[in-house]
């Protein structure tokens, strides 16, 4: 079968048109917020009222102590999910860590706190410092009713919004990429 090049220019034009349409649809990824975040921000300046997770969410090299000490009861939450002040507060109150005693030795606390603070969100301009990732504006927007059906939260496999890996299988590696999401049935 030989290819006819008679309609080649037209084929190219159609291909370019198709690609640009596809690209604009692909860019519409990360939803309404990319376009409207600035205009409809909560009160503080910028996207999500200044409460935005960092990019990247965590450095390429994760502190080993942090990984070891902070993943026995839950995943080691990526430091970029919260601002530095939130991490300081968490690390100062480990004896009463959301109802559990999670205390560390002085040395361990110092090392882990430094890692968290130094790698906290680089896009958090608000002066707020919530203790819970799930209380931040970016989290609430990304997981609101437009995005996620309320039924999902009732699924016993999910159990709690703090259980990231229920839908984000790579959350323990700091990877929350939209394309990797698997909603439990």
Partner 1 sequence: MSYLYYASGLALITLAGLAAQPAFAETPNEILASIQKEAAGTPGFQGFSAARGEGFFKAKHGNELSCSSCHTENPAALGKHAKTGKVIQPIAPPANAERFSDAGKVAKWFKRNCNDVLERACTPQEKGDVLAYLLTVKK
C-alpha–C-alpha distance, residues 81 and 79, integer Å: 5
CB of 166 to partner 1, least distance (A): 9
CB of 151 to partner 1, least distance (A): 19
Judged by CB under 8 A, the number of residues near partner 1 is 16
Longest dimension (CA), the chain: 76
Give me the 19-58 binding string for partner 1, x by CB under 8 A, dash otherwise: ----------------------------------------
C-alpha–C-alpha distance, residues 126 and 78, integer Å: 19
Q: Which of residues 156-185 bind partner 1 (CB under 8 A)?
A: 159-160, 162-163
CB of 172 to partner 1, least distance (A): 10
Residues with Cβ within 8 Å of 86's Cβ and at least 6 positions away in sequence, in order, are 120, 129, 130, 131
DSSP conformation letters of 12-37:
HHHHHHHHHHHHHHHHT-SHHHHHHT
**Is the Cβ of residue 124 or residue 139 nearer to partner 1 in the bound state?**
139
Give me the 84-113 binding string for partner 1, x by CB under 8 A, dash otherwise: -----------x--xxxxxxxx--------
CB of 160 to partner 1, least distance (A): 7
Which residue, among 116, 128, 119, 120, has the nearest Cα to 46 in the 3D structure? 128
**Is the Cβ of residue 73 or residue 151 nearer to partner 1 in the bound state?**
73
**Is the Cβ of residue 15 or residue 183 nearer to partner 1 in the bound state?**
183
**Is the Cβ of residue 74 or residue 140 nearer to partner 1 in the bound state?**
74
Residues in the chain: 185
Q: End-to-end distance of the chain based on CA atoms, in angstroms?
A: 48
* Site for partner 1 contains 74 (CB under 8 A): yes
C-alpha–C-alpha distance, residues 179 and 19, integer Å: 20
Contacting residues toward partner 1, per CB under 8 A: 72-74, 95, 98-105, 159-160, 162-163
């Amino acid at each position: 079968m030989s290819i006819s090049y008679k309609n080649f220019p037209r084929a190219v034009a159609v291909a370019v048109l198709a690609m640009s349409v596809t690209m604009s649809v692909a860019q519409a990824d990360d939803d309404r917020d990319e376009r409207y975040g600035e205009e409809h921000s909560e009160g503080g300046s910028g996207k999500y009222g200044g409460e935005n997770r960092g990019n990247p969410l965590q450095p390429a090299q994760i502190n080993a102590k942090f990984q070891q000490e902070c993943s026995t009861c839950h995943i080691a939450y990526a430091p970029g999910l919260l601002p530095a002040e939130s991490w300081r507060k968490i690390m100062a109150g480990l004896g009463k860590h959301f109802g559990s005693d999670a205390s560390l030795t002085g040395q361990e606390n110092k090392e882990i706190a430094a890692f968290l603070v130094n790698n906290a969100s680089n896009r958090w301009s608000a002066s707020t410092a919530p203790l819970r990732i799930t209380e931040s504006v970016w989290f609430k927007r990304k997981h609101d009713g437009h995005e996620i059906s309320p039924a999902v939260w009732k699924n016993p496999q999910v159990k709690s919004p703090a259980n990231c890996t229920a839908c984000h299988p790579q959350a323990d590696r700091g990877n929350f990429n939209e394309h990797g999401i698997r909603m439990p049935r």
